[in-house]
Every structure is written in C-alpha cells, then in structure tokens.
Structure 1
Amino acid sequence: MLGDLTDRDRAILALEVSWPRHSGAKEEAIRTQLGMSPARYYQLLWRLIDTEQALEHDPLLVRRLRRIRDSRGVQRSVRMQGFVG
C-alpha cells in the first residue's frame, strides 16, 4: 500500500524525479538533502524500486529506473564473461 513508504523513501524518489540527468552536483544534493552518502542512497534506491509501494507511488519513475538497472546488469554480465572466457 502507498502508506507503507517512509518519509525517507518518498524523499529518495522525489530527488530522483527532480534531478536533471548528467549533473555533477547530484552527490552533494544527496548529502545535503538526505544526509547520506551517495553509495547508501543508491543501495536504498535500488532496493526501493523493487517494492510494490514504490511502483504504486510513481510507476513511470520506477519502471524507468528498473530498466536502467537491468540494462547495466546485463552490460556488467557481458563484460565479466569477456574476462572469464
């Protein structure tokens, strides 16, 4: 249910929606607005987009982020296979 998102979850999704692509100051915004390291932010974001609550909250954003994450996972897998083989 939508009510299951925490304030932090909503803040993470809001930052991701509002952030223009390819801007170098995102890490600073993560630190100042959310009070966490960028690494922690991305850990929480990738976990969050797997929840039904996040999907209900902002389906377009969550689907876009899932596609981006899945695409990067495939690219990473292909690169790793190149090193193994």
Structure 2
Amino acid sequence: MTGTTEASAPGAGDAPGDDSGLGERERAVLAFERRSWPGPGAKERAVRERLGLSATRYYQLLNALLDDPRALAHDPVTVNRLRRVRAEKEQRR
C-alpha cells in the first residue's frame, strides 16, 4: 500500500510538481473558495460530500490558510480577497 492520497485525509501530502508546500486538502479548500456558489447551503453540502469536512472544520482550515504564506504564494488573488472580507467583518464588530 502506498499511503493515502485523499483530499480529506489528515496530513495529505503534496502533489507531484506542486512547489507551493500546501497539501491536497489545503489546495482543495482554496479551489472551493475560487468558485461562486448559488447559496450557502450548496457550498456546505459540497464541502461535506467532496472534502469530507464539516462546515465548521472547513472554515477553521480556511481561516488558518489566510495567515499561511504558502497559501498566499499558491493563490494570491483568492487569499487577498478573503483577507479583505475577513478584515471588513472584523471592523464591523
């Protein structure tokens, strides 16, 4: 057996040829955030079905990724957009 390659597996390794240093799961979370969703329910359902994560765990991982320089290097447009959204929400509090 060669080990796990599932995106939902803890500690999923890097894909060959990807020099970002992010695991499969982290790249999948960023890819989910690049998409637009028809409503909040559709996104959470897709997170459960495709990533095998609860919505709470997904958003915890996403929030941690926003502070990870590897995520910024991998997808600067998405990470910067989400950082702006997070900062705006914090200012409203």
Gaps of 5+ in 1: 77-85
**Higher normalized helix content (fraction of residues):** 1
Runs of 4+ in 1 over 4 A off after TM superposition: none
> Hey, what does 2:8 align to over in structure 1?
none
Alignment of 1:57-76 (within 5 A): 57-76=74-93
Hey, what does 1:42 align to over in structure 2?
59
| Whole-Å separation in 2 of the counterparts to 1:59 and 1:27 | 23
Correspondence for 1:7 among 21, 24, 36: 24
How does the TM-score come out when normalised to structure 1? 0.80
Q: CA RMSD in A?
A: 1.3
- Indicate the structure whose relative CO is greater, using CA pairs within 8 Å and at least 6 residues apart: 1
SS at match of 1:40: helix
Question: Cα deviations across residues 17-47 of structure 1 (Å, max 9, x unaligned)?
Answer: 12x1552311101100110111110011011
Contact 2:48–2:54 under 8 Å retained in 1: yes
How many residue pairs end up in the alignment? 74
User: Which has more radius of gyration?
Assistant: 1
Any unmatched runs of 5+ in structure 2?
1-18
